[in-house]
Chains A and B, each alone.
Chain A
Amino acid sequence: MKRTPAPPTDLPEIHLRWIALALCVAILPHLLNLPVWIPLLALAMIGWGWWSLRRQRLPRRALRLYLVAAATTGVLLQFHTLFGRDAGIALLVLMLGLKILELRSRRDALLALFLAYFVVAGQFFFTQSIPIALFMLLSVLLITGALIGLAGTARPLPARRRLGIAGSLLLQSIPMMILLFVLFPRLPGPLWAMPKDSTAGLTGLSDEMSPGRISQLIQSNAPAFRATFDEAPPPAGQRYWRGPVLDHYDGRSWHRAVRLGDTTGPVLPETPGIGYSVTLQPSGQRWLLALDRPGEPPPGAVLTSALELVTPRPQHEVRQYRVRSYTDAVFDLELNPWARIRNLRLPDDSAPRARELAHEWMLEHDDPAAVVEQALVYFREHPFHYTLEPPLLTGDPVDAFLFDSRRGFCEHYASSFTVLMRAAGIPARVVTGYLGGEASPLADYLLVRQSDAHAWTEVWLAGRGWVRVDPTAAIAPDRIERGVSAVLGADSGLPAFVRASYGASWLNQLSMRWDVINYHWDAGVLAFGPERQRELLERLGLHRLGWTLIALILMGGLAGLLGLYVLIYRWRNRPRFASDAERLLQRVEALLAEQGYVRRPGETPDALAARAAAGHPPWRETLTRLTGGLQRARYRGDTLDVAATQTLIEELRAKRNPP
């Protein structure tokens, strides 16, 4: 059997080059998001496709079908599904790579390029950072350039011209983009149900504290949130950002308990509190961070009985909200019996030595406050050591930490302290959140990074309600005042950005500058969610119109913009006449064209007039006189009798066929 090669493509090589380049650039950033083999395979396909197209010999249909099946199977094996964010985008990327293997005609090329737009847009499922957005812009520019080439003229446009047109198209689309961005109805959360796997890779506090969880966070330089204060921010030691409160202990890790029963709510003191707004990075969690202790919850969030701000849905997008906090607020003066039981509960077999110790303290002191003090003294007087690399704990983690290793960081201290308190009969719980925040030298906000993650303890004391106790402060007061880096030396094995020496370096300066840009991007663009949109519409006075009317305004705006572009285009291409004769000739031609006598490119005015006169004899005489005068003016240099010519044009108009 002789092989019949697939018919070669009828696209010129210059188009193929552009398409291959545009597709490669579209796929490239997905190397950051997908398992590496997927984008690499797609790029390899494009290389192979490019090579076979140049040889004018595409792989056979059977082979292509086999490749499609293999790619699908590969995605299935990798993700165990074909749906969802990762699998979906992976499939799209692979199919885009395969598409080049059947790039036969203009139609295939168009399809491939439109698909490439989707692949580019797919980036937004993963990240919305500025560098990626800029890269996507480049990608869109290239795809549009390739499309313009396809739409094009007989001779291929030079690259600069293509990119110029593409750039001007992109610029023209900016007002439309802004209009759509501002007015298109924002749904809480993404437009479509965000698939489950989209939370992967987001860092943030979770509702569980198991050994190692927070130290993982501390390894991350990523910003957790940024806060802008109405007035001066509280001193460094007071910047406790309250996150999830963990009150259920299972002997190893801490969880949020199911809380039945109410609190009396915070007793708001006379002080006006601290007002600030927070721009929270997407965490995939439901917490909104707020300075300990938050007052009224922002719109779209509720305040739980443990003073956590919780939203109905996980945060997949940057969110901005305003809160007012009262650092000296007193709450839960009366402890609900259920809450008391919950906050005293310890697993029966856990931490026997710690319980013993706590019992001794209980017997020594009547006053729970004294027991708290005794425990802090215990931490202070024994050789406890603050380190992010604690030894592996064997046996009961609390006992092992308190009596053997004595090396650990906030989560160990908070966890063991809380266990001690509970064992001593004092209601206690772990609060997780962030401590600290770096004031930006360039803009008016406080940057809190994931590396500022922290855990502390709250104990309930009669007459004082819940009181914050931070056992880590007893060991390493510097951690509280100056951050993790201050406590750990340069040899601690921490990433460079957390080390103390990093703070003053030029690299840090640069990074803070970059953070300012990111802050404005986050706060100004990404945080524009449903609430912000509602606010804006209220400010514009549009909030009472309802979405139907707003949609109409949106469409009207878009149509207006298009109309404006058409007008600008026509104005820029308006006919410019060297003389009256040319202007009037144009009018005659327009009149004739109206009646179906459109001048052909090479047709002289006289020939056109003759044709029109032949088709519409009543015009003959007028046309002869009209063109005679106009032609003499144009080609002989006679002065044109404008008035007479206009009369003749009117005559022509009068004699035309009724439309």
Chain B
Amino acid sequence: MPDIQLTDRILAQLDQVILGKSNQLRLALTCLLARGHLLIEDLPGMGKTTLAHALARTLGLQFQRIQFTSDLLPADILGVSIYDQEAHRFSFHPGPVFSQVVLADEINRATPKAQSALLEAMEEQQVTVEGETRHLPEPFFVIATQNPAQQIGTFPLPESQLDRFLMRLELGYPDAVAERELLKGRDRRDLLATLEPVTGPRQLVALQQAVGTNKVSDPLVDYVQALLQYTREPARYHLALSPRGGLALLRAAQAWSLLAGRDYVLPDDVQAVLPAVAGHRLHPVEDEGLHPAEVVARLIAQVPIP
């Protein structure tokens, strides 16, 4: 039985730092537990970095931040071998990607070459530099942030790259109460510095393994299949949910059910994670300008639960 109290404590601590965003925090933790990577798309100043930082500290994980710019090179991410004068040999200096939590800030400002270096690392959980394969730490969690694509000087991620992120979240503005508390409260940076880890990498990996054991019943698979099938009917979406998307959905729903303190998955779990999982993967044929959350809400409303 998973440690409910532990996950609740993690969420409670995060809630103190990021105010009024408990659903997004829960989704972010879900994403981590499902061994996925997270894409946060929002305007600057919405607390993306704070979220990544708080998550790393609370979970007791190493944290590195990479600021993506247009002149960023793959070596700046992965690391580089430098000749050691004293030892008379090359020694590898690992890049910031060798970290348990990596914040890839403004990922769409770097060139596709730099982007793909990170994305490959995400997918493979390993990095090959100068012919040598190096494993990334465990757990390994990438939080990428991205400015809305219409900004100048960006390289939007192609769909194939987007598909590698388990979830995409938007933080959005805090509500009035939360914002007031934020304005009156302590400086977030100070607050982060004082955060004590609630747990460590070991327990986190245990939790990640527990996710996979949460029961997925036949009726639930039926439902997930119905959702996938619905998106694949012709003339509905330009891009349907891929098999990878389907697996991601199920995995995320399992993680969500774990956070809810259950050891089995309900359709409710699927519906809870669906906006974050499917929002960036679906592009409806009609109503192009529709907000992704609305697209997914319609999908949920259309597909009957078997």
Contact = CB atoms under 8 A, between A and B. Distances in A.
Interface of A: 578, 600-607, 631-632, 634-637
Contacts of A636: 215, 217, 263-264
Contact of A635 (B266, B300, B303): B266
Contacts of A606: 266, 268
A367 to B, nearest CB: 100
Nearest to B214: A636
15 contacts: A578-B219, A601-B303, A602-B271, A602-B301, A602-B303, A602-B304, A605-B267, A605-B305, A606-B266, A632-B264, A635-B219, A635-B266, A636-B217, A636-B264, A637-B217
Of the candidates B219, B267, B299, B303, the one having the most CB atoms from chain A within 10 angstroms of its own CB is: B267
B301 A601 contact: yes
Contacts of B300: 602
B267 A604 contact: yes
Contacts of B217: 634-637
A603 B305 contact: yes
Interface in B91-139: none
Interface string B217-247: 1011000000000000000000000000000
Contacts of B265: 635
B216 to A, nearest CB: 8
Nearest to A606: B268
Nearest to A636: B264
A108 B302 CA distance: 32
A600 B304 CA distance: 8
Of the candidates A578, A600, A602, the one having the most CB atoms from chain B within 10 angstroms of its own CB is: A602
A604 B219 contact: no
Contacts of A600: 301
Contacts of A601: 301-305
Contacts, number: 45
| A-B pairs with lowest CB-CB distance, top 3 | A636-B264, A601-B304, A602-B300
B263 A635 contact: no
A607 B268 contact: yes
B302 A604 contact: no
Given A634-B217, A635-B215, A635-B220, A602 B302 contact: yes
Interface string B277-306: 000000000000000000000011111110
A634 B267 CA distance: 11
Interface in B249-281: 263-268, 271
Of the candidates B217, B266, B271, B302, the one having the most CB atoms from chain A within 10 angstroms of its own CB is: B266
A604 B267 CA distance: 6
A469 B246 CA distance: 99
B138 to A, nearest CB: 30
Contacts of A578: 219
Nearest to B219: A634
A632 B257 CA distance: 13
A39 B263 CA distance: 74
Contact of A604 (B264, B271, B299): B271
Contacts of B267: 604-605, 635
A631 B266 contact: yes
Nearest to B222: A578
A606 B271 CA distance: 12
Nearest to B303: A602
A334 B263 CA distance: 114
A476 B28 CA distance: 111
Of the candidates A632, A636, A637, the one having the most CB atoms from chain B within 10 angstroms of its own CB is: A636
A634 B271 CA distance: 17
A637 B215 CA distance: 8
Contacts of A634: 217, 219
A355 to B, nearest CB: 94
Nearest to A579: B219
A285 B268 CA distance: 80
A606 B220 CA distance: 14
Given A601-B302, A635-B264, 18 more contacts: A601-B301, A601-B303, A601-B304, A601-B305, A602-B299, A602-B300, A602-B304, A604-B268, A604-B271, A604-B305, A606-B266, A607-B268, A634-B217, A634-B219, A636-B215, A636-B217, A637-B215, A637-B217
Contacts of B220: 635
A607 B264 CA distance: 17
Contacts of B303: 601-602
A608 B215 CA distance: 23
Contacts of A605: 267, 305
A605 B268 CA distance: 9
A603 B303 CA distance: 9
A604 B301 contact: no
Given A635-B220, A636-B217, A602 B305 contact: yes
B182 to A, nearest CB: 31
Nearest to B262: A636
A626 to B, nearest CB: 15
Nearest to B305: A604
Of the candidates B215, B263, B265, B303, the one having the most CB atoms from chain A within 10 angstroms of its own CB is: B215
A600 B297 CA distance: 13
Given A634-B217, A635-B215, A604 B304 contact: no
Contacts of A637: 215, 217, 264
